[in-house]
Structure 1
Amino acid sequence: MKRIGLYFGTFNPIHIGHLIIANHMVEFSDLDEVWFVITPRSPFKTKQTLLDDHHRYQMVFEAVKEYPKLKPSKIEFDLPQPNYTIDTLVRLDEKYGDGNIFSLLMGEDNLKGFHKWKNYEAILENYTLYVYPRISNGAVENRFKEHPKIHHIDAPVMEISSTFIRKSHNMGKNVRPLLPETVWVYMDEMNFYR
């Protein structure tokens, strides 16, 4: 059985923080692979600032191609929008469930609002959550603190954001060190976020 961690996000763009977290999870937990699930549209975000799905997939592909344990996934591209995590998990189990055990990766800040997710009880019943630390205010709900399906992983705290990268790049700032080189090249050639 292969244990696969699912790292959901718009990855608009993917940056070194995403790679560091994903690589840490696959190297320092019992996960065998991490799949970057590129979200066409989050129920909690507006689509206005999102690059086309194909371009964000290509940037993730470029970022992880040298890392055999990290994979891009466009499983959500064909699901009805807006899509919810539980629907994606069901589709992944239908399509790749033989021989694979899926888990979710999430930042501690997302765990605070996890009780608002559609069918969060079913997610916790059937899947494991791997939570990495984030600098944030407020406490995680008590029901999630000692939950047997929630594993807190002592990963590096990454406070790089795609929003910061987009805004800074648009202002003419040099954001190249915050991106995998292959992503920077693709982004620059396509003239994104200017």
Structure 2
Amino acid sequence: MKVGLYFGTFNPIHVGHLAIANHLVENSDLDQLWMVVTPLSPFKKKSSLLANHHRLEMVYKATENYDKIKPSDIEFKLPEPNYTVHTLAHLEEKYPKYEFSLIMGEDNLKGFHKWKNYESILENYHIYVYPRISEGVIEHRFKDHPKITRVNAPIMEISSTMIRNSIKEGKNIRPLLDSQVWQYIDEMNFYKK
């Protein structure tokens, strides 16, 4: 089985994440796409994150009507900070019959050469890259790499930061969130302070 891994803090998960995930799983050779909720990215400050279980719950709520998209808490059980190369090794051990690929935006690919053991990841895994208007073309060093596939997915310039800021400012951002995710955020009073 071919599984795409879409890593993110999902703080919160929004319709942009879902549109990209659904497009990839429906328009590629992937059988499933796992939305891997990252407890702590080496590039993000933990203080701005909701608790792990809340972000995982939002991913569950957002994906429950998608047969091919699954939430994953695999990184919750691994040492922090989470490095993709360690997570991939853990997944290979746990699911030896699965073939894993990475999903990332052009913005992440731009800094991919800074990732821990990025050469090993590129050697062993396929990467699907979705477009971001703000990033332009793929970084030259990865332009024609055989393991990197640029996907003609919808361009979604929605960010979790923008959603959090809008909620804090009292703006209605319901169209940008799955209805169950919006309800959960509203009931829990998340992002209002």
* TM-score normalised according to structure 2 size: 0.97
Residue 27 of structure 1: how far off its partner (Å): 0.5
Following superposition, the deviation at residue 139 of structure 1 comes to 5.1
Could you tell me which residue of structure 2 aligns to residue 44 of structure 1?
43
Q: Distance in 2 between matches of 1:143 and 1:167?
A: 34
Q: SS of the residue aligned with 2:149?
A: strand
What secondary structure, in the 3-state scheme, does the structure 1 residue paired with 2:47 have? coil
Q: CA deviation at 1:78?
A: 1.2
- Go from structure 1 to structure 2 and tell me whether the alpha carbon gap of 1:114 and 1:15 turns closer, same or farther (over 3 Å shift): same
Is residue 2:75 matched to residue 1:69? no
Deviates more, 1:182-191 or 1:60-69: 182-191
Contact 1:3 1:30 (8 Å CA) reproduced = yes
Aligned to 1:170: 168
Distance 1:174 1:6, change over 3 A: same
1: CA distance, partners of 2:175 / 2:139: 36
User: 2: CA distance between counterparts of 1:163 and 1:122?
Assistant: 31
2:140 equivalent in structure 1: 142
Contact persistence 1:112–1:139 (CA under 8 A): no
- Give the 3 Å change call, closer, same or farther, for CA 49–115 of structure 1 in structure 2: same
Q: Structure 1 residues 133-142 or 147-156, which shifts more? A: 133-142
Deviation at 1:111, TM superposition (A): 0.8
Distance in 2, Cα, partners of 1:139 & 1:131 = 11
Asked if 2 retains the 8 angstrom alpha-carbon contact of 1:38 and 1:74, the reply is yes
Aligned position for 1:189: 187
Residue of structure 2 in register with 1:130 after alignment: 128
Q: What do residues 115-147 of structure 1 show as CA deviations (whole Å, max 9, x unaligned)?
A: 111000000111000000001246533331111
Please tell me whether the aligned partners of residues 106 and 135 of structure 2 are also in contact (alpha carbons under 8 angstroms): no
Cα separation, 2, equivalents of 1:74 and 1:97: 18
CA distance in 1, matches of 2:139, 2:154: 22
Aligned-partner SS, 1:131: strand
Distance 1:84 1:104 in 2: 13
Deviation beyond 4 Å, 4+ runs, structure 1: none
- In structure 2, runs of 5+ residues without a counterpart are none
Please give the residue correspondences for 1:23-62 in structure 2 after superposition, counting only pairs within 5 Å.
23-62=22-61
Contact 2:100 2:125 (C-alpha < 8 Å) held by counterparts: yes
Residue 87 (structure 1) aligned with residue 86 (structure 2): yes
Distance 2:188 2:90 in 1: 32
Counting matched residue pairs gives 192
Q: Deviations over 1:159-183 (max 9, x none)?
A: 0000000010011000111000110
